[in-house]
């Protein structure tokens, strides 16, 4: 039956009776029932076409997920803006997921073929949609058949092709120059989108966008148009105006946490004994008096817990000595046990005042935000990371902006989120529902502070497998994971099913976060593998099978580690390997 229906569509098209239009609906998918005897038309690395079990016809899709992947199959089709589409598939397995990136998703456990259905509405500028099917990590084989994406096609006859990916040219304090490859077909002109909004319409393949603010980052994509249609968007590229105030850091920095408020198996380390190799020293940790108070206290380790701990006077003297050497000393707030939820404006104000008191008492250079556990999450329906509505997010952003304004341009602000709160947002976003509300929850904070953020060093450890921009899952512990996760921060990425794109950061704002030794955290990476990854990220060489979507980052800020104490315990392996390497990176 499915082949008969598909044949009718083809015959009508040949007769000129099927044209793209709101009143017409057709299955937009290629090889929707896998009757080609293959996965032709689909991006489906682990999938095969099988003859049993099928829902109808001769073939169906079979995929067996691996231990570190979900067995995802995708197909991208052209669609029309502001249009509603329906999606369905007959599936069998435990579990099976059906969804549209930027739209809805659904799933089932089914021992026999069962139909999944959903609908989605494209955004005002959306010209393509990606449909996906997948199972679950290490689960049994799932099957799919008779997949349908119904609605008007986006390819209007005579419409232009997609332009070449834009490249960034001359950048000044107030302008960014862009150029791109010409689109195929008849082209009237090109539309340039800045941060998902139309910024300029030009007749040729280049433009200079002016009137921008110094040291601000933006994401750009381009479409071609004529009197018939507008093309799909090019991949987005990020660019930043010049005029940034220097944080006083070396081009490539070594960043480390010092256990200042507690002792563990690595032993206590006096601040004066931290080697000069470290450029940013994060004092771990300041913690709140209660989860929702916003009242943060920095209680230095006691002599009982940390024999040999220095006095406050000696501690402050050591801070001054480090600063005299050009080092930056920050207070890190949160950590594994320091859960902070700024649920009210009163908590927000307490946070600002108490953090300021710590900075002033010790004369610190700034703040490191290391919110973990349940500190950040998104309320249901909070899907626009540009304009978040969840109180704990809104209040944290307001608090950080106040602190930045209070201390001025030289205030150093760093963040150390886990991959779950950042890169996992490519696949799942908490406010969109259907999963953990914490996924991607750092994204609105990073975005709001992107022009004030000194360094983002995501913890590339203590992480499960994470999908990269190649739509493959990457597992911690080697160069591949570091490359894929860091490239996402530079390139930017679509945010799950929100229809929005998180723009990449400046390369000097990005560092790679690592455990210093095998005892410091899961996901330890040998110095050789770390340096392979950094060389790839900085110079685009030795990247293995991975292609950098964000391009090389010669100004990549450097490496962060947990922790300086653990590095000392392991005879300074991290520092001895990586300080000379960073100095010679160029």
Q: Write down the pLDDT at residue 102.
A: 67
pLDDT at 24 over 70: no
Q: Write down the pLDDT at residue 432.
A: 82
Q: What's the CA gap between 195 and 142, in Å, rounded?
A: 38
Q: What's the CA gap between 370 and 122, in Å, rounded?
A: 36
Q: Provide mean pLDDT across the span 123-140.
A: 86
Ranges of CATH 3.20.20.80 domains, the chain = 253-584
Catalytic: which of 372, 418, 507, 573? 372
Ranges of CATH 2.60.40.10 domains, the chain = 162-241
Query: Mean pLDDT across the chain, nearest whole number?
Result: 90
- Give the end-to-end CA distance of the chain in Å, rounded to a whole number: 63
pLDDT at 11 over 60: no
pLDDT tens digits, 299-334: 999 999 999 999 999 999 999 999 999 999 999 999
CA-CA distances (angstroms) from residue 1 to 55, 59, 90, 242?
11, 13, 14, 61
pLDDT tens digits, 343-380: 999 999 999 999 999 999 999 999 999 999 999 999 99
Residue 289 neighbours by CB distance under 10 Å: 12
Q: What's the CA angle centered on 439, arms 392 and 545, to 5 degrees?
A: 140
Q: Write down the pLDDT at residue 14.
A: 32
Tell me the three state secondary structure of residue 536: helix
* Confidence tier at 26 by pLDDT (50, 70, 90): low
Cβ within 8 Å of residue 405, ≥6 positions away: none
Which of these, 397, 393, 399, 390, lies nearest to 349 by C-alpha position? 399
* Confidence tier at 539 by pLDDT (50, 70, 90): very high
* Confidence tier at 157 by pLDDT (50, 70, 90): low
Strands 558-562, 511-515: parallel, antiparallel or unpaired by DSSP? parallel
Q: Write down the pLDDT at residue 434.
A: 62
Q: Give the least confident one: 84-88, 341-345, 462-466, 558-562.
A: 84-88
Q: What's the CA gap between 465 and 480, in Å, rounded?
A: 12
CB contact at 8 A, 55 and 148? no
CB contact at 8 A, 58 and 9? no
* Confidence tier at 155 by pLDDT (50, 70, 90): low
CB contact at 8 A, 281 and 564? yes
Q: What's the CA gap between 42 and 25, in Å, rounded?
A: 21
> Within the chain, what is the greatest distance between any pair of CA atoms?
88
Q: What's the CA gap between 105 and 576, in Å, rounded?
A: 48
* Confidence tier at 18 by pLDDT (50, 70, 90): very low
Q: Write down the pLDDT at residue 176.
A: 96
Q: What's the CA gap between 327 and 325, in Å, rounded?
A: 6
Q: Write down the pLDDT at residue 284.
A: 97
Phi-psi region at 248: left, alpha or beta (left = phi > 0; alpha = psi -120 to 50): left
CB contact at 8 A, 488 and 426? yes
* Confidence tier at 103 by pLDDT (50, 70, 90): confident
- Give me the count of residues in the chain: 586
Q: Write down the pLDDT at residue 68.
A: 74
Tell me the three state secondary structure of residue 566: helix
Q: What's the CA gap between 521 and 266, in Å, rounded?
A: 12
Query: Which of residues 332 and 32 earns the better pLDDT score?
Result: 332
* Confidence tier at 17 by pLDDT (50, 70, 90): very low
Query: Which of residues 542 and 136 earns the better pLDDT score?
Result: 542
pLDDT at 575 over 60: yes
pLDDT tens digits, 208-231: 999 998 888 888 989 999 988 888
Q: What's the CA angle centered on 94, arms 96 and 481, to 5 degrees?
A: 65
* Residue 372 appears among annotated catalytic residues: yes
pLDDT tens digits, 38-58: 888 898 888 999 999 999 889
Q: What's the CA gap between 536 and 534, in Å, rounded?
A: 5
Percentage helix, strand, coil, to 5, in the chain? 20, 30, 50
CA atoms within 13 A on the CB side of 151: 23
CB contact at 8 A, 149 and 158? no
* Confidence tier at 190 by pLDDT (50, 70, 90): very high
CATH topology of domain 162-241: Immunoglobulin-like (2.60.40)
Q: Provide mean pLDDT across the span 526-538.
A: 98
Q: What's phi and psi for 90, nearest 5 deg?
A: -95, 125
Domain 253-584 has CATH 3.20.20.80: yes
The helix (run of H) or strand (run of E) holding residue 85 is: strand 84-101
Q: What's the CA gap between 456 and 446, in Å, rounded?
A: 8
Q: What's the CA angle centered on 494, arms 493 and 495, to 5 degrees?
A: 110
375-398 burial, b if ≥16 CB within 10 A, otherwise e?
bbbbeeebbebeebebbbbbbbbb
Q: Provide mean pLDDT across the span 515-522.
A: 96
pLDDT at 13 over 90: no
Q: Write down the pLDDT at residue 228.
A: 84
Q: What's the CA gap between 531 and 220, in Å, rounded?
A: 31
Q: Tell me: cis bond preceding 285? Omega within 30 of 0 counts.
A: yes
Phi-psi region at 215: left, alpha or beta (left = phi > 0; alpha = psi -120 to 50): left
Q: What's the CA angle centered on 171, arms 127 and 543, to 5 degrees?
A: 70
Query: Would you state the structure tokens that stand for residue 248, as one six-digit string?
Result: 């006083």
CA-CA distances (angstroms) from residue 100 to 130, 169, 231, 520?
6, 34, 20, 39
Q: Give the least confident one: 102-106, 136-140, 308-312.
A: 102-106
* Confidence tier at 19 by pLDDT (50, 70, 90): very low
CB contact at 8 A, 75 and 36? no
Q: Tell me: cis bond preceding 245? Omega within 30 of 0 counts.
A: no
Compute the Cα dihedral for 566, 572, 574, 580 and give only its sign: positive
- Sheet hosting strand 237-240, strand order edge to edge: 197-202, 189-194, 217-225, 237-240
pTM attached to this predicted model: 0.71
Query: Would you state the structure tokens that stand for residue 147, as one six-digit string?
Result: 């997949």
Supply the CATH classification number for the domain 47-150: 2.60.120.260
């Amino acid at each position: 039956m499915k082949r008969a229906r598909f044949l009718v569509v083809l015959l009508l098209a040949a007769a000129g009776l099927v044209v793209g239009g709101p009143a017409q609906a057709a299955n937009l998918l290629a090889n929707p029932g896998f009757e080609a005897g293959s996965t032709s038309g689909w991006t489906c690395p682990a999938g095969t076409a099988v003859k049993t079990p099928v829902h109808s016809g001769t073939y169906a899709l079979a995929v067996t997920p691996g231990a570190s992947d979900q067995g995802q199959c995708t197909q991208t089709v052209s669609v029309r803006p502001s249009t509603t589409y329906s999606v369905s598939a007959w599936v069998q397995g435990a579990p099976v997921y059906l969804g549209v990136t930027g739209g809805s998703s659904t799933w089932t456990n089914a021992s026999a073929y069962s139909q999944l259905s959903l609908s989605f509405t494209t955004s005002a500028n959306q010209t393509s949609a990606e449909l996906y099917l997948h199972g679950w990590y290490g689960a049994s084989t799932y099957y799919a058949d008779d997949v349908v994406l119904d609605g008007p096609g986006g390819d209007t006859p005579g419409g232009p092709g997609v332009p070449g990916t834009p490249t960034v040219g001359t950048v000044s304090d107030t302008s960014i120059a862009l150029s791109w490859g010409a689109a195929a077909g008849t082209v009237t002109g090109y539309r340039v989108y800045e941060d998902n909004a139309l910024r300029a319409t030009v007749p040729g393949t280049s433009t200079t966008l002016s009137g921008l603010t110094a040291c601000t980052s933006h994401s750009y994509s381009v479409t071609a148009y004529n009197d018939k249609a507008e093309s799909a968007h090019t991949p987005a590229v990020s660019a930043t105006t010049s005029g940034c105030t220097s944080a006083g850091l070396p081009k490539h920095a070594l960043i480390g946490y010092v256990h200042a408020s507690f002792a563990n198996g690595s032993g206590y380390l006096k601040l004066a004994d931290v080697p000069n190799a470290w450029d940013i020293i994060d004092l771990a940790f300041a913690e709140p008096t209660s989860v929702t108070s916003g009242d943060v206290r920095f209680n230095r380790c006691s002599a009982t817990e940390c024999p040999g701990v220095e006095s406050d006077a000696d501690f402050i003297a050591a801070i001054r000595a480090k600063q005299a050497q050009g080092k930056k000393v920050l207070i890190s707030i949160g950590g594994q046990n320091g859960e902070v939820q700024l649920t009210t404006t009163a908590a927000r104000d307490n946070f600002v005042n108490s953090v300021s008191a710590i900075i002033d008492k010790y004369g610190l250079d700034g703040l490191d935000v290391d919110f973990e556990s349940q500190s950040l999450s998104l309320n249901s329906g909070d899907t626009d990371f540009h304009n978040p509505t969840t109180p704990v997010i809104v209040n944290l952003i307001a608090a950080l902006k106040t602190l930045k304004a209070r201390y001025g341009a030289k205030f150093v602000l760093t963040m150390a989120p886990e991959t779950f709160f950042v890169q996992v947002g490519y696949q799942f976003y908490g406010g969109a529902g259907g999963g953990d509300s914490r996924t991607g929850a750092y994204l609105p904070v990073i975005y709001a502070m992107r022009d004030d953020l000194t360094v983002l060093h995501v913890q590339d450890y203590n992480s499960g497998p994470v999908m990269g921009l190649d739509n493959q899952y990457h597992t911690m512990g080697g160069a591949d994971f570091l490359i894929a996760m860091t490239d996402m921060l530079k390139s930017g990425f679509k945010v799950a099913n929100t229809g929005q794109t998180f723009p990449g950061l400046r390369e000097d704002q990005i560092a790679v976060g690592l455990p210093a030794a095998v005892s410091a955290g899961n996901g330890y990476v040998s110095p050789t593998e770390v340096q392979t990854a950094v060389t790839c990220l900085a110079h685009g060489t030795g990247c293995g099978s991975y292609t950098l979507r964000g391009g090389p980052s010669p100004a990549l800020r450097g490496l962060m580690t947990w922790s300086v104490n653990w590095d000392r315990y392991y005879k300074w392996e991290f520092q001895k390997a990586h300080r000379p390497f960073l100095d010679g990176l160029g």
